[in-house]
Each structure stands twice: as C-alpha cells, then as structure tokens.
Amino acid sequence: MLFRFRGSLGVIAMLFLSLHKELHIVLALLALTAGSASVAIADVTVDACVAQKSGSHPSLAADMQSLCALSSSIGALVGFSFSGIFVHLIGPQGVYGLLTIPAGLVFIVGILLKEPRTSSFAYEQINQSFLNAGKAMWKTLKCPDVWRPCLYMYLSFSLSLNISEGMFYWATDSEAGPSFSKEIIGYVMAIGSIGSLLGAILYQYGLKDYPFRDLLFWAQILSCLSGMLDLVLVLRWNLNLMIPDYFFVVIDASVSQMIGRLKWMPLLVLSSKLCPPGIEGTFFALLMSIDNAGLLTSSWLGGLLLHILNVTRTEFGNFWLAILIRNVLRISPLFLLFLVPRTDPNASILPDEVLNSKEVAETRAPDNVELVALVESMDGR
C-alpha cells in the first residue's frame, strides 16, 4: 500500500514539474517536497523491515545494511552518470519527466508485493496504538545506551561543517579554479560513487565485525585527512606536483565518498540495533531525523563560516581558510566517542528492561514482511 502511494505521489509530482514551464515558486516547492516525501516513504518502509530483522537477528544487521548501501551506491553511480548528459540534452524539465519512470516502477513493485491484509481493522484503537508507541519511544530514549549514541551522531554530523556549495562554485566559476562544466561535475560525482560502492564492500567483507567505537575512531581520522585533499586543490599544489585538476578531483571525490560510507555504515548498523521491537520503523525514522538534523546544522554552520570569511560565489580569497577550519573541526568528534557503546557489533544493544518493558510489549506485532523469508534462509545455512 505504501509503495503504491509513494509511486503515485512521485509520478504526479514529477509530471507536474515537467509539464509547467512557468510554474510559481510556491507550487514548485510543493511539488519538489512531494517528490522528496515520496522517496522518503519508500525509504522508511525498507528501513523498517531492515530494523525489524536487525532486532530479531542481530548477527545479520551488518549484512542487511551493507546490501542497502550497495544498492544505494549503484543507484547513485547510475544517476550521476546520466544526470549531466540528460540535463544538457533535454533540459531540467525533461529530466523531471524522466523521473516519473522510477516512481512508476515503485508503484509496480507495490502492486506485485505480497502483503497480508487485515479484514477487521479496529480503527478505534489507532489512538491507543499511537499512545503506546509514544510511551515505548520515550522509555527507550531515556535509556543511556540509546540517548548517548544519538547525541554522538548529532554532534558528529554537526561538527563536520558542510561547505560543498563553496567548493562547487570554486570549481565551476572561480578564475583561479579548474572551471569545470556542470557535465564534468556530474561525471566526477559518478566516479566518486564508485568510492562509496567500495566503502560498502570493504565494510561488509573486512570491517563489520570490529567494534563501533574503533571503526568510528579511524573513520573520523581518515575523514580529517581526506579533507586536506580539498586544501591541496584550492591552493593549486596539485599542479605543482604535475597532477591534472580532473584526475585529482576524481581521486578526491572517490576517497571522500569511500570514507564517508565507512563512517556511515557502523552508524546505520548501530541505529538499527537501538530500535525496540514493534516500532522499529518509527524509531529508526526518528534516529535518521536526528542524523538529518545534524547534517542540516552542519550546512548552517558551514554557510555561516563562509559568510564570516566573506566567501561568495565570486570571492574565494579566504576559501582555503574555511577548508582548514572544517578539517580541524573534524577531529572534535574523537573526544565524544565515549558516548558510543563498546560492544560486540553482532550482539543486541538494548538492555532487558527496555526489551521486556510493558510499553514495548504492547507495540509488538507478528512478522508480516517478505524479508522474513530472506532472513530465515540465511539463518538456515
């Protein structure tokens, strides 16, 4: 049902954007919001399935998250590869028209997906279900094993300032920069997605059994070091080393996305293990909202830093200093790693008082997703 609703919403939103040439900005924003919401609905639904199975099968949590990351990286690789070409050939509105195709495919998946239906649904119990879910979420959040990792995730993302917009304009508009076209930027991002793909594979086959705290420590160190590649590029040291801009930018994007994936994977696995039974989708969405709030704060702080240093679309004199400050701040989450549990990544994290609490027990429901067959087949090996 949710996939069909998501597919319909996405098709309508993208068609609306593609068929109106002089669309009012408010209507355009509403259509874009509807398109983003349609993607989020399907995303949260899949996350709910993964989080549910991660709670009942902790040893498979990393494998399921790696599968999702692998699919996401392949999709990003395909999307970035063709985005610049299609924008150049058919324009932005034509691209919005093409985006109805994946939304339509999701609608078809919703039709083909077998879901058990409840013939006698008690609508009067909706309020009680919301109340029970709210109580379970609050009880879980009060647990130190839960709120401490949540605080770390928010602060970790917030302190990694986002100045990517400044980097984009420097690479495309600055006279001192490489003056890349937007198609070239699309190709660079596509090749960079290979780094994200490699990061997911590396985590799955080499790092998934290491403790969360150790992985996050080294990922944060590598993130700080990889940020220095941007500084080398902006200061044009790569030309002194006889390394062409395009080749260096491709290396920069690939390394950055690979390290970003290596940092993101243990946080996803950790988040899936923090979800109490019965409200996995809701609680996982809450955790992702905390992460997105951290990313939003990072963008605000990054924009504020660029404003203070007087970095604009045409003025990049202090841009190197902004990059240096960003890289130094990336070290700060290392002092917050005590908030992350040092536990076996294949074991359950939630304490028994949360799992066996009355609030959580009232929200539990029987398995009703097709992922059960996949998990049971893995357990039988």
Could you report the average pLDDT of every consecutive run of 10 residues in the chain (381 residues)? 77 85 83 83 77 75 82 80 76 83 82 66 64 79 88 93 88 82 76 85 88 91 91 90 89 90 89 81 84 92 92 87 93 92 77 60 49 46 48
Q: How many domains does the chain have?
A: 1
What is the spatial distance between Cα 149 and Cα 155, in angstroms, rounded to a whole number?
10
- pLDDT at 368 (0 to 100): 47
Answer yes or no: are the C-beta atoms of 87 and 182 closer than 8 Å: yes
- pLDDT at 116 (0 to 100): 62
Whether 285 maps to a domain, the answer reads yes
The Cα-based distances of 360 to 144, 344, 349 in angstroms read: 17, 23, 15
* DSSP assignment letter at 275: P
What is the spatial distance between Cα 175 and Cα 172, in angstroms, rounded to a whole number?
9
* DSSP assignment letter at 22: S
Residue-number span of the structural domain to which 194 is assigned: 2-114+137-379
- pLDDT at 17 (0 to 100): 84
Whether 74 maps to a domain, the answer reads yes
- pLDDT at 370 (0 to 100): 47
Whether 219 maps to a domain, the answer reads yes
Whether 60 maps to a domain, the answer reads yes
What pTM was computed for the model?
Answer: 0.78
Task: Find the CATH number of the domain harbouring 285.
Answer: 1.20.1250.20
- pLDDT at 331 (0 to 100): 92
Q: DSSP letters along 296-360, please?
A: HHHHHHHHHHHHHTT--SS--TTHHHHHHHHHHHTTGGGGGGGGS--S-TTS--S-HHHHT-HHH
Which candidate, 73, 303, 293, 76, places its Cα nearest to that of 167? 303
Read off the tokens for 215. 């992985």
Q: Which residues contact 131 (CB under 8 A, 6 or more apart)?
A: none
In the numeric block, the tokens 């919401």 are attached to 37
- pLDDT at 3 (0 to 100): 72
Residue 373 exposed, middle or buried by CB count within 10 Å (0-12, 13-18, 19+)? exposed
Whether 128 maps to a domain, the answer reads no
- pLDDT at 378 (0 to 100): 46
Whether 29 maps to a domain, the answer reads yes
Whether 119 maps to a domain, the answer reads no
Answer yes or no: are the C-beta atoms of 276 and 216 closer than 8 Å: no
Answer yes or no: are the C-beta atoms of 16 and 31 closer than 8 Å: yes
Q: What is the three-class DSSP state of 380?
A: coil
* DSSP assignment letter at 158: H
- pLDDT at 325 (0 to 100): 93
What is the spatial distance between Cα 153 and Cα 171, in angstroms, rounded to a whole number?
30
Whether 132 maps to a domain, the answer reads no
